[in-house]
Amino acid sequence: MMIICGHHQKVDYQENGEGAYDLAFLPRGKRMAGTGSFSEILDGENNVYKYYSEGEWRKSVSGKSVAIVNPTTRKTQYKVQACSQAEVNKVMEAAKIAQKAWAKTPLWKRAELLHKAAAILKEHKHPIAECLVKEIAKPAKDSVTEVVRSGDLISYCAEEGVRILGQGTFLVSDSFPGNERTKYCLASKVPLGVVLAIPPFNYPVNLAVSKIAPALIAGNSIVLKPPTQGAVSCLHMVHCFHLAGFPKSLINCVTGKGSEIGDFLTMHPGVNCISFTGGDTGISISKKAGMIPLQMELGGKDACIVLEDADLDLAAANIVKGGLSYSGQRCTAVKIVLVMESVADALMEKVNAKVAKLTVGPPEEDCDITPVVSESSANFIEGLVMDAKEKGATFCQTYKREGNLIWPLLLDNVRADMRIAWEEPFGPVLPVIRIGSVEEGINHCNASNFGLQGCVFTKDINKAMIISDAMETGTVQINSAPARGPDHFPFQGLKDSGIGSQGITNSINMMVKVKSTVINLPTASYTMG
């Protein structure tokens, strides 16, 4: 494979018998997944990671495993258990019982355990980051950042939960016409029960804890189904919760392919809430799931509208970072640029100059552009590129692919009849449409079936506000690329981009229900000051 990233250093590391790996990015002594504190999560005999049920790491009776292919080497990197339906049933039953006791555990105690898990997670950032590099080809530094950010999310969630769950509402009855003050209503927030958490491959640790931490602080138990690519990172993260000393069966993690155990999990009668992040799978889950609260974070086609008065250097920097970080495999990546014709040439010159500086190669070397998650994903991206080529898009760079590695590519003069104008490539390919008016840009944005985020670049705050009002998306960023986070900001998608709102506070509130107790008094009660 040709690599234009820096020096590709091989480090011979034999301790776990896995042979030579490029681990130069990991400090010595902090290297290996599945060793040291993590050795009990690996069935060393068969080299298969175990699943987590009833507070223990177990081998599946199915005797089957699922292979996780390293996107860079395209060889099997890890294996996880293919859990059986009977094992899922057992987990659900145990999670239900554990939740009842957890609901009685004081809030401060729940928070204390979460803080402990956050600290353990951060302490083990290197072996977990190693898994992210090997399973999803995330650049090494970003992998470490994902783990640290996840620890911070857990801690913030613990603190927010203590504050907001400690407060209920007290209502008096005579504020409604015709009523005496004979009724007092005490409304409090109580847990939902068992929360099924299904994160996607691109942020397997962060998007798992963004479901686990709110669920736990709110008094729920968790069944986690990690993505296949990212499962081993998730298992290591779950072990940090295990080491923190949470009660057994409160947190569980079953592994297996979504296409095989997904329906069984999402339609399971023991599930009281589903928190899902991913693609169109979420739409079919929402049709199959029963009468339970759903939190769905799905795909996006985030538009970046660039007006004539925009700071073009700022816009170019954000388009490149927002569109191509982690090779475009982010839900909130800039997925279409809508630029006013009069500044399009100037903008594209700046964008292309920045693209030329991006490094392309393996995640271990922290390259900007790394292989996309799978061969099927690379094939899908290539299909979008070829469709645009046939229909006459301007290629700003030469299209180049080796295995799952796709070189960054800007497609200029894209038109509405091209698939790339509407579909989410989830790769380092960014389409640009030149627009004659702001309305044209807004119309394109609103004609999308997605509505996650959007952004606008202008120096005129009034224009920015008018565009923000007009864009049918969950969030509009003014003068910055779309992004999820900071993690306490509300985060939501409209249309096919999701159901409900995330962000720490909103997620905690979503994972509780309101319970009212009404005290009926024989005579009206007034406090006379």
Q: 421 φ, ψ to 5°?
A: -70, -20
Rounded to the nearest whole angstrom, what is the least distance from the CB of residue 411 to ligand NAP in the complex? 19
Residue 303 binds ligand NAP (CB under 6 A): no
The nearer residue to ligand NAP, 116 or 484, going by C-beta atoms, is 484
Q: How far is CA 216 from CA 162, 194, 195, 267, 353, in A?
A: 12, 10, 9, 22, 47
Which residues are registered as beta bridge partners of 277? 297
Taking CB under 6 A as the binding criterion, the range among 83-91, 200-208, 363-371, 514-522 that sits at the site for ligand NAP is: 200-208
Residue 83 binds ligand NAP (CB under 6 A): no
The strands making up 512-520's β-sheet, listed across from edge to edge, are: 169-172, 183-191, 512-520
Return d(Cα 61, Cα 122) in angstroms, integer.
33
Among 266, 272, 327, 473, binds ligand NAP (CB under 6 A): 266
Secondary element (H or E) of residue 510: helix 504-510
Range 215-254, binding ligand NAP (CB under 6 A): 227-228
Among 71, 161, 214, 278, binds ligand NAP (CB under 6 A): 278
Return d(Cα 260, Cα 204) in angstroms, integer.
19
Residue 495 binds ligand NAP (CB under 6 A): no
Rounded to the nearest whole angstrom, what is the least distance from the CB of residue 259 to ligand NAP in the complex? 5
Residue 127 binds ligand NAP (CB under 6 A): no
Rounded to the nearest whole angstrom, what is the least distance from the CB of residue 336 to ligand NAP in the complex? 14
The nearer residue to ligand NAP, 142 or 424, going by C-beta atoms, is 424
* Residue pair 276/500 in contact by the 8 Å Cβ criterion: no
Say if strands 194-198 and 273-277 run parallel, antiparallel, or are unpaired. Answer: parallel
Rounded to the nearest whole angstrom, what is the least distance from the CB of residue 265 to ligand NAP in the complex? 6
Rounded to the nearest whole angstrom, what is the least distance from the CB of residue 208 to ligand NAP in the complex? 9
Residue of 164, 238, 176, 175 whose CA lies nearest to 208: 238
Residue 298 binds ligand NAP (CB under 6 A): yes
The nearer residue to ligand NAP, 36 or 500, going by C-beta atoms, is 500
Range 395-434, binding ligand NAP (CB under 6 A): 424, 426
Among 277, 370, 404, 505, binds ligand NAP (CB under 6 A): 277
Residue 257 binds ligand NAP (CB under 6 A): yes
Return d(Cα 443, Cα 438) in angstroms, integer.
9
Taking CB under 6 A as the binding criterion, the range among 8-16, 33-41, 262-270, 337-345 that sits at the site for ligand NAP is: 262-270
Say if strands 494-495 and 450-451 run parallel, antiparallel, or are unpaired. Answer: antiparallel
* Residue pair 331/451 in contact by the 8 Å Cβ criterion: no
Q: 62 φ, ψ to 5°?
A: -60, -25
Residue 214 binds ligand NAP (CB under 6 A): no
Q: What is the DSSP letter of 409?
A: E
Residue 297 binds ligand NAP (CB under 6 A): yes
Secondary element (H or E) of residue 185: strand 183-191
Rounded to the nearest whole angstrom, what is the least distance from the CB of residue 234 to ligand NAP in the complex? 9
Among 62, 145, 281, 359, binds ligand NAP (CB under 6 A): 281
* Residue pair 205/232 in contact by the 8 Å Cβ criterion: no
Please give the full DSSP string across 341-389, using - where no structure is assigned: HHHHHHHHHHHHHHHHT--BS-GGGT-SB---S-HHHHHHHHHHHHHHH
Residue 64 binds ligand NAP (CB under 6 A): no
Rounded to the nearest whole angstrom, what is the least distance from the CB of residue 228 to ligand NAP in the complex? 4
Residue 451 binds ligand NAP (CB under 6 A): no
Residue 181 binds ligand NAP (CB under 6 A): no
Catalytic residue, chosen from 160, 297, 364, 423, is: 297
The token duo for 256 is 């297996």
Taking CB under 6 A as the binding criterion, the range among 122-130, 273-281, 360-368, 407-415 that sits at the site for ligand NAP is: 273-281
**Active site (annotated) includes residue 364:** no
Residue 354 burial class via C-beta count within 10 angstroms: exposed 0-12, middle 13-18, buried 19 and up:
middle
Rounded to the nearest whole angstrom, what is the least distance from the CB of residue 66 to ligand NAP in the complex? 8
Among 371, 498, 506, 510, binds ligand NAP (CB under 6 A): 498
Q: What is the DSSP letter of 421?
A: G
* Residue pair 388/419 in contact by the 8 Å Cβ criterion: yes
Residue 200 binds ligand NAP (CB under 6 A): yes
Give the binding site for ligand NAP (CB under 6 A). Answer: 198, 200-202, 227-228, 257-259, 262-263, 266, 277-279, 281, 285, 297-300, 331, 424, 426, 452, 484, 493, 498
Residues carrying an active site annotation: 297
